[in-house]
Structure 1
Amino acid sequence: MKAVATYSTSDLSRKSGDIIADALRHPVTITQRNKPRLVLLSIEDYRRLVKRGDSRVASRLEDMPDDLFEEVKRAVDAYEREGEDR
């Protein structure tokens, strides 16, 4: 994988065309006072990231299926026993 190109905010004002062209090929980091502050990326890369976004859902323990609840209890019990053996 190619290293991410890095430009300063000063570069952004002077070389915006070059930086945009670079960002269309791969994500570009923009720094301010030598600290990464922004990432500039193509709309395709952005959409791909959003599509792959976190799909986890929080639920209540009471809503967990019984078989999964039993499996979790067994795992916790095994973990506790392992701690006792130390």
Structure 2
Amino acid sequence: MPHTGGSYSTSDLSRKSGDIIAEALRHPVTITQRNKPRLVLLNIDDYERLMRQSDARSVGTLKTMPSELLDEFEAAVDAYAGTDEPNR
């Protein structure tokens, strides 16, 4: 039953869901619709690992930036603004 690359169509999913789920427990499986990837099935451990990794990444703002980094940033902006580059 193995498909090359762990990719199945939506009709495969309806016909062979048990086998596809068993494979998804071992590694991520792509579900295609009209020959385009639409979904990925993956085990809960992989999902939770991805969520932890995404939580570890945070968006910084000027308000949350450490003051020494903000000082460096402002100095760099001031230096850039003081240059006379015609193609900026």
TM-score band (shorter)? 0.7 to 0.9
Aligned mates of 2:66, 2:85 — CA distance in 1 = 29
| CA RMSD in angstroms, aligned pairs only | 2.6
When normalised by structure 1's length, the TM-score is 0.73
When normalised by structure 2's length, the TM-score is 0.72
42 and 64 in structure 1: CA distance in 2 versus 1, 3 angstrom threshold = closer
Aligned length: 82
Is residue 29–residue 37 contact of structure 1 (8 Å, CA) maintained in 2?
Answer: yes
2:42 matched to 1:41?
yes
Aligned mates of 1:63, 1:36 — CA distance in 2 = 38
76 and 10 in structure 1: CA distance in 2 versus 1, 3 angstrom threshold = same
- Alpha-carbon deviations, 1:1-22, whole Å to 9, x = none? xx85111000001111221111
Q: Offset at 1:26?
A: 0.7
Structure 1 residues 9-24: aligned runs within 5 Å:
9-24=10-25
52 and 62 in structure 1: CA distance in 2 versus 1, 3 angstrom threshold = closer
Structure 2: where are the runs of 5+ without partners?
none
Structure 1: where are the runs of 5+ without partners?
none
Q: Offset at 1:58?
A: 5.0
Q: Offset at 1:31?
A: 0.8
24 and 63 in structure 1: CA distance in 2 versus 1, 3 angstrom threshold = closer
- Alpha-carbon deviations, 1:34-63, whole Å to 9, x = none? 12111100011111111111431454x356
Report the identity percentage.
63
Give the structure 2 partner of residue 66 of structure 1. 67
